Amino acid sequence: MKLQVDLNADLGEGAGHDAELFELISSANIATGFHAGDSDTMHAAVCAAKEHGVAIGAHPSFFDRENFGRKELKVSNEEVFDAVAYQLGIFQAIAFAVGMRPNHVKPHGALYNMAVRDKKLADAIAQAIASVDPKLILFAPDNTELARAGEAHGLQIAREVFCDRNYLNDGWLVPRTRPDALLRDPKEAAQRVLRMLHEGKVRSVEGRDVDVRGETICVHGDTPGAVEFARELRMQLEHEGVKISAPQSSL
């Protein structure tokens, strides 16, 4: 059976090379204003995605532009529900206005990282998505509270792995505060992704093989050399006969 995978990137965040990434990816996670972006950047990104045949998704965050949404905050589950629903509503309205329908949701930064571990926070995110549009696909790492919450609320899950980040023995990402958080070599990153797809394994920074399940692969738009990472990854995936396409809702 031919392998198929989605290639996604976080865009609309002001990194400066969105145009190049739109030519290489199949799904765009577009910033919805809380950590980066505004109505103009959302509109521009949605139009670019439409031009390139790229599926679009909302990239909601904590309201924390100062820290680019990457600082863990103490917020109530009700606040998280409202923040996610609000951002999805704005993004959906802009997308509909230019003839596009959002396909997925990927929480950003600290909101994503906390929801991986926090059952109540994950539930608030999943409930917000289901209340706005239950057909939206939730991007989440496999075997996490976020993925389980999405399934509990009837959402379709696309299991996400990361091509530009290192992993720990527990299956989660090395914190960005550490110098070994990021991969530096696009060729190494592409080979590692191929192993994830073929074997369901990734080597942690501690030297242990960790089980992973990858249905969508993330290239962070603000990673140094993001375009080179995406280009090398796409080239090697296609060379191996892997089909690159956005996930389709079955709901």
- Residue 87 is assigned to a structural domain of this protein: yes
- Residue 197 is assigned to a structural domain of this protein: yes
pLDDT band per the 50, 70, 90 thresholds, residue 81:
very high
pLDDT band per the 50, 70, 90 thresholds, residue 160:
very high
Question: What is the Cα–Cα distance from 16 to 35, expressed in whole angstroms?
Answer: 16
- pLDDT above 70: percentage of residues in the chain: 100
Over the chain, what is the mean pLDDT? 95
Question: Pick from 164, 166, 173: which is nearest to 144 by CA?
Answer: 173
For the segment 148-177, the average pLDDT, to the nearest whole number, is: 94
Digit-coded pLDDT (tens) for 165-221: 999 998 889 988 899 998 989 999 999 999 999 999 999 999 999 999 999 999 988
- Residue 250 is assigned to a structural domain of this protein: no
- pLDDT at residue 78 above 90? yes
Number of structural domains the chain divides into: 1
| Per-residue model confidence (pLDDT) at position 129 | 98
pLDDT band per the 50, 70, 90 thresholds, residue 222:
confident
- Residue 249 is assigned to a structural domain of this protein: no
pTM given for the model? 0.95
For the segment 153-173, the average pLDDT, to the nearest whole number, is: 94
Domain that holds residue 83: 4-244
* Separation of first and last alpha carbons in the chain: 24
Question: What is the Cα–Cα distance from 103 to 221, expressed in whole angstroms?
Answer: 19
Question: Pick from 208, 207, 236: which is nearest to 217 by CA?
Answer: 236
| Per-residue model confidence (pLDDT) at position 184 | 87
Digit-coded pLDDT (tens) for 92-146: 999 999 999 999 999 999 999 999 999 999 999 999 999 999 999 999 999 999 9
| Per-residue model confidence (pLDDT) at position 151 | 98
- Residue 233 is assigned to a structural domain of this protein: yes
Alpha helices in the chain (DSSP H): 18-22, 39-52, 77-97, 109-117, 119-132, 145-152, 186-199, 226-239
Residue 111 vs residues 51, 77, 84, 211: alpha-carbon distances, Å: 30, 11, 10, 23
* Kind of pairing between the strands at 201-203 and 209-211: antiparallel
For the segment 15-29, the average pLDDT, to the nearest whole number, is: 95
| Per-residue model confidence (pLDDT) at position 105 | 98
CATH number for the domain including 28?
Answer: 3.20.20.370
- Residue 89 is assigned to a structural domain of this protein: yes
- Residue 159 is assigned to a structural domain of this protein: yes
- pLDDT above 90: percentage of residues in the chain: 90
- pLDDT at residue 251 above 80? no
Q: Which residue has the tokens 């799904």?
A: 27
Phi, psi of 131 (to 5 degrees): -75, -30
